[in-house]
Amino acid sequence: MRKILFSAFVILFSCVIVCGKTEDFSVKAFHLDFRAQVMTVSAIKKLASDLSKKGINAIIIEYEASFPFEKHATLCNKLAYSRKDIKEIVDHCKSLGIEVIPLQNCFGHCEYILRHDRYMNLREDKKEVSQVCPLKIKEAKKIFREIFNEVASLHPSKYFHIGADETYLLGSCRECSKKDKSRLFVDYVKAMCEIVDEMGKIPIIWADIILKYPKVAHELPKNLVFVDWNYGWKPNYFGNLENLFKLDAKIWGAPALRSHPDNIYLVDWMKHFENIATFIPFARSNGYKGIIDTSWSTSGLYGFYYDSNNEILEMYPVRQVYPMSGFQILIDAFCKAVSDDKPISPEEFILAYGSERYGLAPEDARIFLSYFQHPQRWIRKGKDSKGVPIAQLVQDIAALKDNFDKISVSKNSGEFEHYRLMLDLRINYLNYKEIESEYDSPDYNSSKAGELKKRLEGVITQSDELGQRFISLNKSYLKPGQLEEINSFREKKMKNLYENLARQEAIN
């Protein structure tokens, strides 16, 4: 029986060194999330070529509405690939020794399916459309058998990922509320696995829900692969991992390079570096057979624009994240961590990376390190989540920018511009939040509208300039139209405030 040490990752690492467990992962995978951001074919091929040189042998693609469904074309959005595109991606990856594994949600995270009247009878809830009702197995099997087969027809991989994470509505409908949640989950997942088995493939699911409700986990198929996703928390966050270990289940692990709380103007860099540095050795020491670097373009939650009778007119991702084009350093940190037996040191890695990839002098490399160590947090009511006043935040980040702008880059300068842009986007956000905090202050009255409006004009002008840089840097990375939408999303609140201030100034 594999033994897990739960007290602390530090103790675990000591055990790894002493015991000498250096078992390699058979699957070293990278995850692409196309729910909110859809990469161009050329960008995917370029990424795959780079990953193949660094030991990655699988790419997991979560298409959602970007897949070119035929019988279920209702699901396709304006960014959907063609079947020729998918074949080109899969063939290119195959030539590199990379297996493309499709991820097709069929339980939770089914908003893009259940929003349509064609599939509304599968909903667990009439208005909150994220989840399929697990009691509607017969109806779901008919639909998902067709969907699975469409996706599988373009992916020769022996694996098929069916999602099954974050089923927050489990047991919420009237009939489901009478059932045991573990039973609901297991019976439904078993039914979906039967379809995967019919296709001659091995099913994969995320492990969070079965860890939370493990009562009848032993009834799940013996060939099912469980993915323990851990984005910086201690083991047993979702539930006791021993419940999977005692089943002798095949387990893969998954850290993240983009996840909560990241968005366009906030990246928790050190959280991701530490996640890679701690969780990968944990997974290796506990005999996990595979590892996946997940990269989420959104939170997975959506806001909806409803008409009467709960008809969904449109849905929007709750959070947008800076495109993965800006995260090469974390991609390479993951690749190094899965290739080396020894855990990486984030600080040492960043310093060496700055020198080797960008040709930074030692002093500049230290400034580069300080860039990633600079805390980025949400801002509310004029303070960040740690209570630091926004005036102090603006002052601190201005000092960082003064130093960062002096860095001399001699290699991969185009790639380095992403770091400069992300820093400038953060500064622009803080400048806006400073104005917003004054507007929301009890001391604000309409006589101050003109002064705030004038200051906000400068912030918006700067934001528009940053938007053009954003498009220029990423124009070949995402499909047409998305960059403009991301810019619009980022500026929405500040431009709404500007309109309010202009109206108040005119009244006065």
d(CA 62, CA 166): 15
Q: Is the pTM of the predicted complex or chain greater than 0.85?
A: yes
Out of 19-23, 198-202, 287-291, 484-488, which region has the weakest mean confidence (pLDDT)? 19-23
Query: Hey, what are 141's tokens?
Result: 């099997």
Overall domain count for the chain: 2
* Residue 18 counted as domain residue: no
Residues 350 and 299 in one domain: no
Name every residue whose Cβ is closer than 8 Å to that of residue 60 and which is 6 or more positions away in sequence: 29, 30, 31, 32, 100, 101, 102, 103, 161, 292
Q: Label residue 309 by pLDDT band (50, 70, 90).
A: confident
**Whether residues 232 and 329 fall in one domain:** yes
- What residues pair up with 441 in beta bridges, in sequence order? none
- Split at pLDDT 50, 70, 90, the class of 24 is confident
The helix/strand/coil state of 62 is: strand
Considering the domain architecture, whether residues 147 and 241 belong to the same structural domain is answered as yes
The last residue of one of the domains, among 339, 359, 378, is 339
Helix (H, G, I), strand (E, B) or coil at 222: coil
Residue 231, sorted as left (phi over 0), alpha (psi -120 to 50) or beta, turns out to be alpha
**Residue 122, both tokens:** 């599968």
Give me the CATH number covering residue 256.
Answer: 3.20.20.80
Looking at the fold, whether 170 and 102 belong to one and the same domain comes out as yes
Query: Are 172 and 220 members of one domain?
Result: yes
What domain range is 40 assigned to? 25-339
Shared domain check, 251 and 199: yes
Residues 359, 228, single domain; the answer is no
Examine the domain organization and report whether 321 and 390 are in the same domain.
no
Q: Is residue 86 part of a domain?
A: yes
Does 5 have pLDDT greater than 60?
A: no
Q: Tell me the C-alpha distance between 320 and 276, whole Å.
A: 22
* Same domain, residue pair 269 and 353: no
Alpha-helix runs per DSSP H in 374-440: 390-404, 413-439
Is 371 found in the same domain as 272? no
Residue 66 placed within a domain: yes
Q: What is the pLDDT of residue 23?
A: 65
Residue 454's pLDDT band (cuts 50, 70, 90): very high
> Nearest CA to 67 among 89, 43, 94, 45?
89
Q: Indicate if 402 and 382 belong to the same structural domain.
A: yes
401 with 327, same domain: the answer is: no
Q: Rounded to 5 degrees, what are φ and ψ at 485?
A: -65, -40
* Average pLDDT score, the chain: 94
Structural domain includes residue 42 = yes
CA distances from 272 to 207, 257, 278, 370, 372 (A): 20, 6, 10, 15, 10
Of 283, 312, 339, the residue that ends a domain is 339
CB 98 within 8 A of CB 57: yes
Residue 245 lies in a domain: yes
| 173: in domain | yes
> Is residue 11 in a domain?
no
List pLDDT tens digits, range 229-252: 999 999 999 999 999 999 999 999
- Cβ-based neighbour number of residue 387 at 10 Å: 7
136 found inside a domain: yes
CA 218, 220, 224, 227 torsion: positive or negative? negative
